[in-house]
Amino acid sequence: MSATSPLLPGMPADGAEPVFREPWEAHAFALAVSLHQRGLFTWPEWADALALQIGAAQAAGDADAGDTYYRHWLAALETLVARKGASSDDELTRYRQAWDRAADRTPHGQAIELREQDFR
What is the value of pTM for the model shown? 0.74
Q: Distance between CA atoms of 120 and 116, rounded to whole angstroms?
A: 8
18 assigned to some structural domain? no
Provide the angle, in degrees to the nearest 10, between the axes of the packed helices 23-37 and 43-59: 140
- With beta carbons less than 8 A apart as the criterion, state whether 102 and 113 touch: yes
Residue 89 has pLDDT above 80, yes or no: yes
Its domain, for residue 80, covers: 43-56+68-106
- With beta carbons less than 8 A apart as the criterion, state whether 5 and 33 touch: yes
Mean pLDDT of 75-94: 93
Q: What's the pLDDT tens digit per position in 23-47?
A: 888 889 999 999 999 999 999 999 9
Domain count of the chain?
Answer: 1
